[in-house]
Structure 1
Amino acid sequence: MNNGSNRSTEQSCPAQPPLAMDIILQLDTFGIILYSLLTFMAAVSMLVFIEECIYIYRKVPNNKKSVIIWVNGAAPVIGAMSCLGMWIPRSTMFTDMTSNCYFAIVVFKFLILMLEEVGGDEVFLKRAGKHQLKISTGPCCCCCLCLPHVAITRRSLFLLKLGSFQFALLKIVFTILSIVLSTNGNFDLNDLTISGAVMWINPIVGILTIIALWPVAILFMHLKVALRTLKIVPKYAMYQLVLILSQLQTAIINILALNRIIPCSPPFSSTARGYMINQQVLILEMFIITLITRMLYRRQYDPLPEEEPDDNENTKMVAIPYSA
């Protein structure tokens, strides 16, 4: 009896996500309260972000304004896009792509933020001139302890920037390509066959993501002590948390939905219901992260103290051995 009822329920679930008006007409009391509360959280997140932008423009030095606003906007933007996807389920692919493109830029901006907190490229190269970079860090090479250390030069700094910038650029390129292919019916998130565009584009984007996260991790490991007074560790933790929730959590929920582990519930199919659950959870999570991020970045932006001549513990970088 249960199997028969499950099959009949699945047959009654439409393949396409419902229209926004269909959702509004079918909301019960609990649904109205839930949707209203989540919409309120998304709106408050954006208002907090706008207020933070005003504070940054008034109080923060010019060289840090742009990067801090970009990094601060990760959680509010994802929350706002999730809210749109919750109310308009058929726009989920586009809202997710918008959020992912924004966060791809944030990955690069966070690397720039750490450099600007030190004082910029020139100050970083001057402070780090006698040190080396340890590149055996996650997510690429955390197990490759035999990798040699790399001297900190203009070239190595350029490569670190390039490693993160390529993701910000290519993610937007692949997003535009995905939208173009979807209009022709070639990009379908439910089509996981080898001939589907999803099976080719998503793994490539995944590899680009890992490559982009590696330079940020390398720079963070070598500056976390120097920037500890600027709360760089909790800032990095919030950046990583947004990454995990917006990428890994979304992937897990989508896989569960595609395998029908998340059952359908009219007017939502299993896939559409998985997207809906993910959007609702993200709104709550991004709201909390927005409030925490506001506390971390709302401070006085004084210059970083000069590094003492032989104090390697101030930056925790590896000193270059000098030959006699």
Structure 2
Amino acid sequence: MDNGTTIDPSCVQKPPLAIDIILKLDIFGIVLYSVLTFMAAVSMLVFMEECVYIYRKVPNNKKSVIIWVNGAAPVIGTMSCVGMWIPRATMFTDMTSACYFAVVVFKFLILMVEEVGGDEAFLKRAGRYKLKISTGPCCCCCLCLPHVEITRRTLFLLKLGSFQFAVLKIVFTILSIVLWTNGTFDLSDLNITGTAIWINPFVGILTIIALWPVAITFMHLRVTLRTLKIIPKYAMYQLVLILSQLQSAIINILALNGTIACTPPFSSTSRGYMMSQQLLVLEMFIITLVTRLLYRRQYDPLPDEQREINENTKMMAVHRSA
């Protein structure tokens, strides 16, 4: 270079191999990697123990959905741990986590409906109300949107809105892997001709569309299901979303821009991914423990329909003509 400075070759190379990381770990690195690996292992053990509890104590109609929702944090934490040890597998571990969470988005909506008693019970309870659809993440500012009557068709559309993300996310993940094997998919390629710059924003739009029905259903049932601690459960679901998607995206953007410095054997981009993986392992460990407490507690039966009328439910009574 003209100014006489040199760049470490590792700053422009692919992510290091797992053996390279192991050989260059200092005392702090050994402790850090050991603790994070222990956290990921404990998260999976807690999840497995929770699965046994659910199969023994929870009614059949709720077993599958609760296991799916409970598995979000430990699965993401475990995949992040794998990506931490094997940096070249980060794209695949992130895609696996994203696909799993796409299914969790749909399962959480189903969980809320099942907590009421299923589709029939939901429609029976909601027959006197209209649904407020001016809520996030799509239409929180569109207060002029009309309220919608709750029918079988409405419930079907709510489920479809989330189900499409579970299916299409997996489809686009498979497509991305196929394109990557052909050398035409690169997350760091931000050129207009790159495939990643087209696929990722489209998946982002699908994500927003999928989150909307879940938010609508939550606002509709948050008072009805208050004895089942639906608000903290929803908060944990949202926290997993924010940490696994938004936080990771911000760190990766900073890495691509060179804001995160290169530290051999990691390039700037690889170091950004590494920081994201390490944070996720810690965060998902904490969320796993909190989620276990939320889903193992016994709650009072749902209140009668007459007690559910509350101005904070974000529902409106349907005035039917005599």
Q: Where on the TM-score scale, by shorter chain, does this alignment land: which range?
A: over 0.9
Q: Relative to 1, partners in 2 of residues 1:129 and 1:273: Cα closer, same or farther, differing over 3 Å? A: same
Instruction: State the shift of 1:321 in Å.
Output: 2.2
Maintained 8 Å contact 1:258/1:271: yes
Assess if the C-alpha contact under 8 Å between 1:67 and 1:110 holds in 2. Answer: yes
Name the TM-score, length of structure 1 as normaliser. Answer: 0.95
2:141 to 140, 143, 157: 143
1:241-297 Cα shifts (integer Å, max 9, x gaps): 000000000000000000000011111000000000000000000000000000000
Indicate conservation of the 8 Å contact 1:9/1:264, yes or no: no
**Which digits, 9 at most, give the CA deviation of each residue in 1:71-107, with x for residues without a partner?**
0000000000000000000000000000000000000
1:56 aligns with 2:59: no
Q: Give, in whole Å, the separation in 1 of the partners of 2:4 and 2:29.
A: 23
In percent, how many aligned pairs have the same letter? 80
- CA 1:118–1:313 in 2, change beyond 3 Å: closer, same or farther? farther
Match of 2:270 in 1: 272
Distance in 2 (alpha carbons) for counterparts of 1:88 and 1:100: 18
Q: Please provide the CA RMSD for this pair.
A: 1.8
Q: What is the aligned partner in structure 2 of residue 100 from structure 1?
A: 98
- Matching residue of 2:128: 130
Give 1:40-119 correspondences, 5 Å limit: 40-119=38-117
Q: CA deviation at 1:308?
A: 2.0
Asked if 1:167 is matched to 2:165, the reply is yes
User: Which of 293, 302, 306 is the aligned partner of 2:304?
Assistant: 306
Measured after TM superposition, the shift of residue 6 of structure 1 is 11
Tell me the distance in 2 between the aligned counterparts of 1:224 and 1:10. Answer: 55
Give the drift of 1:151: 0.1
> Match of 1:83, as an amino acid?
C
**Deviation readout 1:174-228 (Å, 9 max, x if unpaired):** 0000000000001001111111010110011000000000000000001001101
Matches within 5 A, 1:250-265: 250-265=248-263
Structure 2 gaps, min length 5: none
Number of aligned pairs?
Answer: 322
Q: How far has the Cα of 1:15 moved from its partner?
A: 1.7
1:19 aligned residue (4, 17, 23): 17
Q: Measured at CA, do residues 280 and 310 of structure 1 come closer, stay the same or move farther in structure 2, by a change above 3 Å? A: closer
After superposition, the C-alpha distances for 1:16-45 in whole angstroms (9 at most, x for unaligned) are 000000000110111000000000000000
Question: Which amino acid is the alignment partner of residue 19 of structure 1?
Answer: L
Q: Report the Cα distance in structure 2 between the residues aligned to 1:89 and 1:53, rounded to whole angstroms.
A: 30
Give, in whole Å, the separation in 2 of the partners of 1:65 and 1:322: 37
Distance 1:303 1:119 in 2: 11
Of the three residues 192, 195, 198, the one matched with 1:194 is 192
Cα distance in 2, alignment partners of residues 242 and 12 from structure 1 = 32
Give the direction of change, closer, same or farther, for the CA distance of 1:20–1:304 in structure 2 (3 Å limit): same
1:28-47 equivalences in 2 (<5 Å): 28-47=26-45
Distance 1:138 1:93 in 2: 29
2:239 is the alignment partner of 1:245:
no
Instruction: Give 5+ residue unaligned stretches, structure 1.
Output: none
Question: Which residue is 2:215 aligned to?
Answer: 217
